[in-house]
Amino acid sequence: MEFKFDNEKPIFIQVKEKLRLYILSGYLKVGEKLPSVRELALISKVNPNTIQKALGELELEKLIYTERTNGKFVTTNKILIENIRQEFVKNIVDNYFNSMKEIGIDKKSSIKYLQERSNKNDIRS
Amino acid sequence: MILEVKNLCKSIDNKKILDNVTINIPEGKIVGLLGKNGAGKSTLIKLINDLLTVDSGEILFKGKSIGVYSKSHISYLPERTYLDRGMKIKDVFKYFEDFYQDFNLEKANKLLKDLDLDKDMIIKNMSKGMREKLQLVLVMSRDADLYILDEPLGGVDPATRDYILDTILSNFKEGASILISTHLISDIERILDEVVFIDKGKIILESNADSLREKEKCSIDDVFRRLFKC
Select from B188, B190, B208, B224 the residue whose CB has the most chain A CBs within 10 Å, as the one to mutate to test that interface: B190
Tell me the β-bridge partners of B56: B9
Print the domain residue range for B185. 3-227
CB contact under 8 A, A38 and B186: no
pLDDT band at A112 (very low <50, low <70, confident <90, very high): very high
Q: Between residues A110 and B154, which one has the greater pLDDT?
A: A110
CB contact under 8 A, A41 and B169: yes
Nearest Cβ partner for A47 among B166, B193, B218: B193
- How large is the average pLDDT for residues A36-42? 91
- Reported as type and span, the H/E element at residue B19 is strand B15-25
What chain A residue is nearest to B214 in terms of C-alpha separation? A10
Task: Please say whether the beta carbons of B7 and B46 come within 8 A.
Answer: no
CB contact under 8 A, A7 and B209: no
pLDDT in tens, B199-227: 999 999 999 999 999 999 999 999 999 98
Q: How far is CA B160 from the centre of its chain?
A: 17
Number of domains in chain B: 1
- How large is the average pLDDT for residues A83-96? 95
Give me the pLDDT at residue A22, please: 96
pLDDT in tens, B59-95: 999 999 999 999 999 999 998 877 888 999 999 999 9
Give me the pLDDT at residue B230, please: 63
Give the Cα separation of B95 and B87 in Å (integer).
10
Q: Does B184 touch chain A (CB under 8 A)?
A: no
Of B34, B66, B32, the C-alpha closest to B178 is B32
Give me the pLDDT at residue A122, please: 60
Amino acid occupying residue A114: L
Report whether pLDDT(A121) > 70: no
Give the Cα separation of B178 and B28 in Å (integer).
8
Alpha-helical runs (H) found in B14-148: 41-48, 68-73, 89-99, 105-114, 128-140
The C-alpha of A41 sits at a distance from chain B's nearest C-alpha, in angstroms, of 8
Give the Cα separation of B3 and A14 in Å (integer).
30
Q: In this predicted complex, what is the ipTM?
A: 0.79
Give the Cα separation of A46 and B30 in Å (integer).
10
Of A22, A55, A8, A21, the C-alpha closest to A36 is A55
Q: Does A102 touch chain B (CB under 8 A)?
A: no
Q: What residues in B contact A7, CB-CB < 8 Å? A: 186, 189-190, 213, 219-221
Report whether pLDDT(A76) > 80: yes
Give chain B's residues under pLDDT 50: none
Give me the CATH code for the A11-76 domain, please: 1.10.10.10
Q: Does A46 touch chain B (CB under 8 A)?
A: yes
CB contact under 8 A, B213 and A10: yes
Q: Does A8 touch chain B (CB under 8 A)?
A: yes
CB contact under 8 A, A7 and B213: yes
Give the Cα separation of B86 and A103 in Å (integer).
72
CATH number at residue B7: 3.40.50.300
Give the Cα separation of A37 and A48 in Å (integer).
6
CB contact under 8 A, A7 and B186: yes
The C-alpha of B98 sits at a distance from chain A's nearest C-alpha, in angstroms, of 30
Give me the pLDDT at residue B161, please: 86
The percent of residues above 70 in pLDDT, for chain A, comes to 96
Give me the pLDDT at residue A123, please: 55
Alpha-helical runs (H) found in B49-202: 68-73, 89-99, 105-114, 128-140, 158-171
Give me the pLDDT at residue B80, please: 81
Q: Does A14 touch chain B (CB under 8 A)?
A: no
Give me the pLDDT at residue A124, please: 57
Q: How is residue B122 annotated by DSSP?
A: B
SS3 call for B230? coil
CB contact under 8 A, B220 and A7: yes
- How large is the average pLDDT for residues A61-83? 94
From residue B46, give the alpha-carbon distance in Å to each of B42, B53, B60.
6, 9, 14
Give the Cα separation of B175 and B145 in Å (integer).
8
Where are chain A's structural domains? Answer: 11-76, 79-119
